[in-house]
Structure 1
């Protein structure tokens, strides 16, 4: 066998081996869950919480925590977190909504915290729809806000595309998880191998509620241009909020982020009479003739 043929076969075998390993190990690469014992008690200073369990149709158990605001609730925020840890750590962000008199419900995905069950994109989507349906039993859907953070942004977009929440807020969202991973493995056939493609851009097309995208200009994991690109998918319903200098994990440390959130949660949409604006003004490129 010629040397070059042997080399090509070796490269092919290595490529196939890496592809197989990537397919079976991607759960460990994508998700960084924190397991919690069944007797773990959630506690957050100055936060009133209530823990919930929910059984799924395939026998899994979902664990979630409801953060209650101190006044009369204006609605509920279903907060879908990122791909690491558990709601034990993510719960600290609930205050950003309870301070505006919104209750917040956070749920751990399968394999995170106290939640159990075999994880898959289909299973997680089904789980979250079940959670959403449960919330609709407690509060009118027009008072439900979907908030998706990083990994949760794709699932939030999917939920919004299939339901009618008050609004959808995406924090550091990705165009699709296939696009994110392709930056690090450009030569792999990820469209075939990835079990969690999470095509946020596809689902946003079908969302019919107001969409707010919050993105930092210094996000190195999911570049700011991704937020800009997503804002163009459903432009009539979308508003892009830019956190100057914000990264992927530190938007809550910027005063501008909280100002944006305040504006999103408290401002009422205003209709504009376009007839009174310059929208139809035609600007001529020709220079005006000088009168003599």
Structure 2
């Protein structure tokens, strides 16, 4: 009897701890998903003379944006970055785009860099992406459009590209670097003990992938342990016209440093 009561008490305690951990994850998961670094208001993102900074006002926040503008660009490379750092980390290595004659636009999510506010939902994230794109899109009417994302940004990029396709304005290229089939699927692999219903950022990239029109290129490191390459393989199988660049020896955070990636990017932009 005493043993049974003790066992029941232990199980109740374990259940309470588990429920508390799951509850914390539900309400505070932004701390796990996003790793922003702040930038001071007077700290420049980039000192190159052909770059500038601007802000886009959205409900409850101002989004910090960086723009490389060339005299007569062929088009624009609209890039959505990963879950850490800020534009000072991501708005770099611009020479390849100068050579391809493409402008570059990036922005920091809420709470990153000089952007104010806090990320509160996937819907808010996607609305912010749309707001920044709608701000710059009129500058590139009739020009080439590349929608791109890396890691976290791939789900957002696929969503924007799918929406443009549905409106009859398919990007000339959708480029996804180290993508996931969905954040929910990835979370199930990394944290199998957590109920999937807890995740408030499911980011179903695969659902958008099937709606993409026009060329799609995926780039993925074969040694990526954070987002395994089978996510890209699954995405490619769902797309109408997609090409997967497998980067031998590359992991997750270093894939952009491999010459294979630069060569593939320059080749893709040159064909547009």
If the length of structure 2 is used for normalisation, what is the TM-score? 0.91
Give ranges in structure 2 of 5+ residues lacking alignment: 165-169
Task: Give the match for residue 11 of structure 2.
Answer: 8
Task: Give the match for residue 187 of structure 2.
Answer: 181
Give ranges in structure 1 of 5+ residues lacking alignment: 269-292
Contact 2:75–2:145 (Cα < 8 Å) also in 1:
yes
Q: CA deviation at 1:243?
A: 1.1
Q: CA deviation at 1:142?
A: 5.3
Q: CA deviation at 1:217?
A: 0.6
- In our comparison, the structure showing a higher alpha carbon Rg is 1
Task: Give the match for residue 160 of structure 1.
Answer: 161
1:256 aligns with one of 250, 254, 260: 260
1:104 and 2:104 matched: yes
Q: CA deviation at 1:253?
A: 2.1
1:95 and 2:74 matched: no
Contact 1:75–1:103 (Cα < 8 Å) also in 2:
yes
1:198 and 2:198 matched: no
Aligned-residue Cα RMSD (Å) equals 1.6
1:243 aligns with one of 228, 247, 252: 247
Q: Which runs of at least 4 in structure 1 moved beyond 4 Å after TM superposition?
A: none
Count of aligned pairs: 263
Q: CA deviation at 1:135?
A: 2.0
- Residues 94-121 of structure 1 show CA distances to partners (whole Å, capped at 9, x for unaligned) of 3332321100001000110111123121
Contact 2:45–2:91 (Cα < 8 Å) also in 1:
no
Task: Give the match for residue 50 of structure 1.
Answer: 52
Residues 78-87 or 114-123, more deviating? 114-123
Contact 1:216–1:246 (Cα < 8 Å) also in 2:
yes
Task: Give the match for residue 21 of structure 1.
Answer: 24
Distance in 1 between residues matched to 2:255 and 2:118, nearest whole Å: 32
Task: Give the match for residue 78 of structure 2.
Answer: 78
If the length of structure 1 is used for normalisation, what is the TM-score? 0.85
